[in-house]
Every structure is written in C-alpha cells, then in structure tokens.
Chains A and B, each alone.
Chain A
Amino acid sequence: MTTYETVIGLEVHAQLSTRSKMFCGCPTTFGARPNTQTCPVCLGMPGVLPVVNRRAVEFGIRTALAFGCRVNDACRFARKHYYYPDMPKNYQISQYEEPLAENGSLEIDIEGGARAIGIQRLHLEEDVGKLLHEGPLETAQASLVDFNRSGVALMETVSRPELSSPEEAAAYLRAFRTVLIFLGVCDGNMEEGSLRCDANISLRPRGSGTLGTKVEIKNLNSFRNVQRALEFEEQRQALALDAGERIVQETRLWDADRGYTRSMRSKEFAHDYRYFPEPDLVPLQIDRRWVEEIRAALPELPRAWRQRAVAQYGLPPYDAEVLTQSRALVDYYEAALREWGPGPGARSERPKTLSNWIMSELLRVLPGDDERAIGTSPISPGHLVGLLRLIENATISGKIAKDVFQKMFVSGEDARTIVERDGLTQVADEGALVQVIESVMAANPKAIEDYRRGKKEAKGALVGQVMKATRGKANPALVNRLLEDKLSQT
C-alpha cells in the first residue's frame, strides 16, 4: 500500500460586519423577516447600479494587512455569471484578475510548533440570497427566495495548498476566524453563515513533487465538518488510488447528516463563469495613505496576545487559547487584570486565578460563547476583581466566593455588598471558633479516638463538621490550627 501525502487548500467566505450591504445601503441584520432588507439594487431590478461600500473595502484592507498581504494599488470588480434563482442579476459582482490583496500568510499552531500557511489572495464580493424550499428539496413543489442576504459584503480568502491534514485545515480555520473576530471585521458566527468554507483536497504519493487531482468540497460550515469531511475525502481518495482508480476533478458536497461527500458536478459540467470587468464600477484606486492609516490602527492579533500572555503573565497556553476565542473576552481579561494590578512578585498568581475564574465560572454561566455574550455579562471586570480581592484578603473563602459569584450574576451587585448583607464574612474570631470546635469534638468522640490512634485523616472530618456548623464562613486555615491545638492537648 502506498502512503500518501494530503494537500489541502481552503477558500473561506466571511460576511463582513458592515452595517450596510456591499453595493447598496440596505441593512444587514441577520434574521429579519424575509425580503424586508432589500432595495432595487440588491434585488437586481432593471437599470439600477452598484456603488462600492467604502467600509467593506476598509475591512478587506484591514484583514489583508493582518495577514501580511500586499494591498494592490488598484483593484477591479468583475462579473461572475451563472444562473441561480437566489442571485438576482444571475451574475455576482466579485473580483477576478485584479483582487484587493495578494500574497500573505496565516500562522497556525499545530503539534510540533507553528506553521505559516500561505494566503494567495483576498477579494471582495457580494453574497447571494437564500432559497427556502417547501419541504425537502427533492420533493418540493415550490421554492421561495429571501433576498435579505443578497448583496451582503463578503470577503473571500484563498489559502495556498499548504495544509497537510484535516486537523491542520481545522486549525487554519480556527486561527482565521479568531483573527477576523479580533479585527472586528466579521462576527465569525458559523451557524448564521457568517463564515463559510470550501476545501480543495488532493493526495499524492509521499515525496512526489507534483500535485494530485484535486476535488473541491462545498458546504463545510463548522470546524467539525471541515475536519470530518476532509477525513472522509482523504480516506476515499486513498482507497480509490490504492485500487488503481483515477481521481476525477469534481465538486463534491459534504452531507453532514450522513457523514460522506457526494459528487455535485464534474469538470466537464463545471460552470464557465464568463468573467469580465464590471462596467458599472470604475477600478478602485487604493490610496497608500489610507492603507497606512489602517495599518497603524491594527489591533494586537490573537497569536501575538497569546504569546505575550504566556511570557508576561505566565498563563498556560491553554488558557491563552481559550481567552482568544473572542476579542471581547481578551478585552474583559485585560480590563480585569488592569483593575486588579499585577500582584506581588514576579510569578504572581493573579493572572492565572483570573483566567480560572473566567473560564470555569464566567464562561459557564454566559449564554453561548460569542462576542455578544461577554458584552452582556452582568458581572463587570471590576466586579469580578472585587470578588477575587475578598478571597485574596481572606474575607471570604473560595467556596463562599462561588456562591457570591452566582448572586452577583443574578443581581448585578458587587461582591462586598452581597457578602456584608448576607453575613458571609469568614469567622476569624478565635474565641467563637474555639466554642464551635469544642462542641464538634464533644459530639464526635470516635473521630478524636481515631485521630489519636494515628488515623490522621479523621481530622478532615472534624474540620468539615466545623465548616458545616459555621455554614462555610470559618477561615479554614484557622480552624485547622485551632483544631490541631485542641487535639494535641490532653
């Protein structure tokens, strides 16, 4: 059996978060009633003309710069023709020979280190509408078109065929999504179709210098599907090659429910898109000063932040990865850390304590895991730090703190207010604790006997009893010390 090398390239379509569409002023809100966000332009009515959305161009340039692409001095739109009822003009305004930007790369972190994956080109285009079928497609008696999405600004980014496994493809897509979210150019919401992915995959005998015949897979709309579909296709092609078959150049559709790819059209039936320069738009001249302004305003990118968080804050790489799932989360983390201060010593516990609380408490209770959720958190970075300070100065225990956190989440109050009102301050009054300990000891003679016979873990049970009697408010360290004193007496 031959061993194969897998070669994958990804084309990612990202909906830009511009308020209006690519070539008209219609709003882009997701989920509006069908055909309420349309105008003659995005409905492709006779005689109407497109006008380029400057903001979309800015977002394209911002992304291009983040990937280190060359932003071309001039770019041009082109018409791409094919008949489909969700595309009102039966051509899509896209870019062909003269894209907005070319030649960049995206660094991905994979097992064994980092790799830069080449980005061939980045261009702007318009989205199409959506078809709604009456029942399943195969048996539908009618289909309706919703043109709300028609004309929404899309950015297509084509990677070079440099990904060598389905895992790498998924890693690329994850890294890509995070960069876009950090740049604020796309919300990255894959369920709503803000980010869509097509993949080209081919196999070749290991060590071969030439590329094998590629197959394009469409409809990859989650990280999991990208990986599953490519794994399936990798195996399908390997089996075919082993059997001496030739791979047919074709487009295949990923069926996520059934877990396989199926042929959509072969090369012979491939569309001839009859591209030609869009005569309704003049070539876009990109002002270098504008590009430099955009470059100067680029935010810190997720990978750079992760590296800094590991080196400067001492965060484990895993925590840094989780926090960079969204720009808002990083902003939240940074705001909280600023509020709290770096903490004593070179290896302060604060950065890690903070990420623990965000990851295990905050993200658990927030609905979803996207940009919007953290923005609506009822616990502000300042409030979270307020809570952590109470633990740090031993006002409350970590266990009580979790209850306080829940109350804060519900009421939006700060930690101190809740702790004081509910009387949750740790009992640190030795006299009061000694009384509790004595009554616990009186009630548990067996445990004391066990302890004195050398069964040291019996002490834990007694500590638990004391904590229970104080409803968790006792300072555990103090309880331990007082209990040991008592047990060593007599």
Chain B
Amino acid sequence: MHQPIHELTDAYRRGDLTPTAVAEDYLARIGALDGKVGAYLTVVREQALAAAHESELRWRAGTPRGPLDGAPVALKDVLCTAGVRTTAGSKMLERFVPPYDATTVERLQAAGAVILGKTNMDEFAMGSSTEHSAFHPTRNPWDLARVQGGSSGGSAAAVAGGLAAGSYGSDTGGSIRQPAAFCGVVGMKPTYGRVSRYGLIALASSLDQIGPFAQDVTDTALLLTAVAGYDRRDATSIEAPVPDYAAELSKGVAGLTLGLPDEYFIDGMDPDVERAVRQAIEVLKGLGARIERVSLPTTQHSLAAYYVILPAEASSNLARYDGVKYGLRVAGRDLIEMQSKTRAAGFGAEVKRRIMLGTYALSAGYYDAYYGKAQSVRTLVRREFAAAFARVDLIVAPTTPNVAFKHGEKEDPLSMYLNDVFTIPGNLSGIPGVSVPCGFNAGGLPIGLQVLGRPLDEARVLRAAYAYEQATTWRSRRPDLS
C-alpha cells in the first residue's frame, strides 16, 4: 500500500483498495515505526479514520471529490488546524489549539484528503535539520543517525519512510526542497503567492510559501493543484488561474533551454552531489533539452541578505507570543516580568538568536545599513533571475551542496545556514522550484536535483522534473525501516 497517491486512487476506483484500509495501514505503520523516525508531533487517528470512511462512501457511490480523495497526507505543524493543536515545533505553542483552519487545510479537506497528523519541524521553521524542534529530533529514514533536513523535516521523513502518502511543508529558504533532497522524495516550493499563506504560522512573511512533498512528480502536481490559487484572506496571494499541473506533465523537455548557473557548483561541495547533478543534466540533454550556462553572481550575497530579511521579519512576527492571549504563559510579578519569563521559557536558542538579529537589523540607525541593503540585494537577485529567464526556460542546479549530515554535526549556526545556499535565492526572488531525486552518494544517501522556473511557471518546472523522473529509476529505491 506504500505507493503514490495516483496509484492509490486508481486502486480505489477499481475497488482493489479502500481509503479506510489505506488509512489504517498508514496509522499502523506510524504506530510501529514512527518511534524510530519521529516524523510526527500529533497523530489524529480518529479524525483520519472518520475522513477515510467518508471518502470510502464517496468512492463506493462513484462520486469522489477528485484525485486526492482518500489520500493519506501529513501536515507540517506550522499549518493551523481547527481543533487540533498546532505547535510550530515550539514550547510556546505546545498546547495551542487554533479555532481556525489554514486555507490549505480547508482546501485539502474539500478535496477529500485524509489528514493523518502534524509533523515535526524546527521551532518556528528556523533550521535545516529539525534538530531545533522543541520536542524531539526526527531521523532520516535512509540512515537514522542522520538528519532528514529541515525545517519541514517531519513532512519529508514521513513521505520517505512510508508514514504518509504525501505531505505539506513550508519553504522560507529551502525548508521543503532541502529535506526533500536529503530524503529522496520530491518537494516543491511554488511561486510566492501561488498558495495562500492564511493559517501558516509566519516565519518570514515575504519569503514563506507552502508546498508539497510527494513520492513522485505526478503526486506533486496533484498535491499542488489542490491547494494553489487566489485566496481573498491573503493579500499577497496571486489572482491567476491554476492550471491542471498533472495534465501538462508529459509534454517533455524537448526544445526547452535549461540554464546551468556557474555559481551553483562551488568549492567544498560534495563531489558525489556534483557528479549526480551533472549526470542528471546529461539525462535531460538526452531527452532533447538544450543546456546553456548562465551566471547569477549575486548568489554569493543571497545568504547574507537572507539572514537580515528573515530575522527582521521573524522578530516582528514572533512579537505576538507574549503570554497575554494564548500559548505559554509563565507567571511574573508584573506584566513585563510575565512577558520576559514567557519568552525566555517558550523560545529555544535559535529562535532567540534570530529575534535578536532581526531586532537589531530593524533598529533606528541600522535599518538602512542592514534591512535596506538586504532589500537591494534581493532586488538584484530578482533581476538576475529575470535576465536569465529571458534566455532560458528553466534553471537546473543541485538542491544542496551536500547530502544529509549527522545529528549534532553542525553545531555552529553558520555552517547550518550554509546548507541553504542553493535554495535561498529562489525564496528571495519568489520563483518556483522543485527538488527531485537524482541519485545517491557512495554511502547510499539521496541527492536532489533542483529545477527553478519563472514566476507562475510551475507547470514547466514540473514537466522537466517529470521527464527526468520517468527517464530514471531512482524512485524505486526505498529506505528499509524494519
């Protein structure tokens, strides 16, 4: 039963499988194996079974709601779910139960998806390994001694470990694409504004974007189609029609020009990663794509700009957690002491570090030198991509410079930050990107190929990823958790 969603629904249609049986199987696997992986923070067993039962009735009546009806999915615990606690991986929200659903959650429910639970993450999505979760670490199903990436680590590990058929995460600087690469699954960050952020607990509002994890590109397309599109509750969501991404997958890459950025092959990157990515490009060439070198020189400044903009926005977004209204409250003699104690106890070290960085960057007298400058870099990054996309249809590059690292290996925050060097420019410019498995290193750890496209050109991004996936057999390899 551990198969892509489009195969599950084919089986539902034929009557070979039922949503209830599949949901039960996933819940049983979570019960048996999630102790090893730690993908979930909350499992909603009863709700999942009820949703599966309803889906089953619809399939039986021949009236399924679409290609996600009865699909067992997991949600990063940063997406608000009405009546189900939503922690953002933080002590601050350990007992927070939202009275509202994120737009994404509403749309998934309307599509008939079966939500299995909420997945682990770095606290408030700050991190690249999920080691910053306030609750427990998550382990990479390919090697339990290693991280599965982050911040959407639980969602990636759940799909890789067969603990969910698909899942959703959020990507602020690579938090979907990087763990997808580390876990050998497909992960997509859509164009900024393509998916409503309403109900997504904000890290950095101008960078955050919700996207899916899936076992293959077809599922990625289905999972994206279900949640994409304008939402009047999110002023930054884009009012543009949503294509049927799955319908356009098989158009191939023949005739497309793929840009290969010089700056994405750097000193110090894992030679196995570089080799796998270059081989993948050969495969695409063989499928009829033309390859052209492009230059994105501002890439080297992206990380610096990102680590000003992100903490600045985060320091603002996280100001609301003060013990007054909801979430953790630590008593104090007066208001100030209550707020200070609450924030001291509720936030972990990385969150505090970024709040301080951001508060500093926005301070009077420093604003222009930091935030202003970072925004200028951002404009340059956006322009560079635009110039490149005037010449090429897509850009292909490694998702990460390295494969999954060991737990505790990157204790220095800066070396952790460097993990996102290839994914951050996509967030700064708002363009869509997908990470698709492109092989394994010598130690058997997955490697990801990143495909980036023009704003709102998800269809073409997915098309290239699909063409590559269909030409290779990487997805047939699965980690063994037993």
Contacts and interface: CB of A to CB of B under 8 A. Distances in A.
Contacts of A275: 362, 367
Contacts of A49: 197-198, 233-236
Interface stretch (A38-46, A65-73, A168-176, A425-433): A38-46
B325 A51 contact: no
Contact of A85 (B88, B202, B324): B324
Given A83-B322, A276-B371, A48 B198 contact: yes
A81 B319 contact: yes
B205 A47 contact: no
A177 interface: no
Centre residue among B99, B201, B312, B320 by max chain A CB count within 10 A: B320
Interface stretch (A198-206, A278-286, A303-311, A482-490): A278-286
A179 B86 CA distance: 48
Nearest to A278: B205
A453 to B, nearest CB: 87
Contacts of B235: 49-52, 280-282
B364 interface: yes
Given A43-B325, A46-B86, A83 B100 contact: no
B199 interface: yes
Given A88-B325, A276-B312, A280-B205, A44 B232 contact: no
A99 B362 CA distance: 20
Question: Chain A interface mostly helix, strand, loop or mixed?
Answer: loop
A272 interface: yes
Given A46-B88, A91-B316, A274-B362, A281 B326 contact: no
Interface in B308-354: 312-313, 316, 319-320, 322, 324-326, 335, 339
Given A274-B363, A279-B205, A279-B313, A40 B324 contact: no
Interface string B94-125: 00101110100000000000000000000000
Centre residue among A52, A88, A274 by max chain B CB count within 10 A: A274
A43 B201 CA distance: 14
B201 A47 contact: yes
Nearest to B237: A49
A171 B236 CA distance: 43
Interface string B76-103: 0011100000101000010010111010
A280 B203 CA distance: 12
Nearest to B322: A90
A145 interface: yes
Contacts of B27: none
A89 interface: yes
Given A49-B197, A49-B234, A90-B320, 8 more contacts: A46-B93, A47-B197, A48-B100, A51-B234, A51-B235, A85-B335, A90-B319, A282-B236
Interface of B: 78-80, 86, 88, 93, 96, 98-100, 102, 197-202, 204-206, 232-236, 312-313, 316, 319-320, 322, 324-326, 335, 339, 359, 362-364, 367, 371
20 contacts: A40-B100, A47-B98, A48-B100, A49-B236, A50-B235, A51-B233, A52-B235, A79-B316, A83-B322, A89-B319, A90-B319, A143-B335, A272-B363, A274-B359, A275-B367, A276-B312, A276-B313, A280-B205, A281-B235, A281-B236
